[in-house]
Structure 1
Amino acid sequence: MKNQTKPAFIHVLLIFSALFHSYSTSVSAQEVEDEKEFDYSEESGKGPNQWGNIKKEWSDCKTGKIQSPIDILSRKAKVIKNPERLEMLYKPTELIVKNRGHDISLQIHWLKSAGSIKINGTEYFLQQAHWHSPSEHAIDGRRYALEVHLVHQAKDPKVKHNLAVVGILYKYGEPDAFLSKLLGNISATNDQIHEKPLGFVDPTHIDIRMGAKAYYRYIGSLTVPPCTEGVIWSVQKQVKQVSKQQVHAIRVLVHDVSKDAY
Structure 2
Amino acid sequence: MAKLSSLVLIFGLLTTLVLLTSYQAMSQEVEDESEFNYDEESEKGPQHWGDIKPNEWFLCKNGTMQSPIDLSNKTVKIVSNLGVLQINYNPSNATLKNRGHDIKLELIANTSSLQINGTRYILKQLHWHSPSEHTINGKRFDLELHLVHQTPSGKTAVIGVLYKTGLIPDPFLALLTKDLVAISNSTGAERAVGVVDPRLTNFNRIHYYRYMGSLTTPACTQNITWTVVKEVKSVTKEQIELLQVAVHDESNTNARPLQPLNNRLVQLNYFGPALGPTA
In structure 2, distance between residues paired with 1:255 and 1:61: 20
- What residue in structure 1 maps to residue 171 of structure 2? 177
In structure 2, distance between residues paired with 1:192 and 1:124: 29
Question: Could you tell me how far 1:191 is from its partner in structure 2?
Answer: 2.4
Q: What percent identity do the matched residue pairs reach?
A: 48
Deviation per residue, 1:13-38 (Å, 9 max, x gap): xxxxxxxxxx9675786221102111
Alignment of 1:99-248 (within 5 A): 99-100=98-99, 104-110=103-109, 113-157=110-154, 162-173=155-166, 174-189=168-183, 190-191=185-186, 194-209=189-204, 212-248=205-241
Unpaired runs of 5+ residues, structure 2, are: 1-19, 254-279
Give the structure-1-normalised TM-score.
0.79
In structure 1, distance between residues paired with 2:137 and 2:187: 42
Number of aligned residues: 230
- What residue in structure 2 maps to residue 9 of structure 1? none
Give the structure-2-normalised TM-score.
0.75
- What residue in structure 2 maps to residue 75 of structure 1? 74
> Which of residues 228, 242, 266 in structure 2 aligns to 1:249?
242
In structure 2, distance between residues paired with 1:79 and 1:99: 38
In structure 1, distance between residues paired with 2:252 and 2:189: 26
In structure 2, distance between residues paired with 1:240 and 1:73: 19
In structure 1, distance between residues paired with 2:222 and 2:188: 35
Q: What secondary structure sits across from 1:67 in the alignment? A: coil
Q: Give the aligned residue type for 2:122.
A: F
**Cα 1:120–1:103, aligned 2, differ >3 Å: closer, same or farther?**
closer
Question: Could you tell me how far 1:107 is from its partner in structure 2?
Answer: 2.7
In structure 1, distance between residues paired with 2:99 and 2:200: 25
Asked which structure has the greater CA Rg, the reply is 2
Alignment of 1:41-60 (within 5 A): 41-55=39-53, 56-60=55-59
In structure 2, distance between residues paired with 1:253 and 1:43: 19
Unpaired runs of 5+ residues, structure 1, are: 1-22
In structure 2, distance between residues paired with 1:179 and 1:165: 19
- What residue in structure 1 maps to residue 38 of structure 2? 40
CA RMSD of aligned residues (A): 2.4
Question: Could you tell me how far 1:100 is from its partner in structure 2?
Answer: 4.7
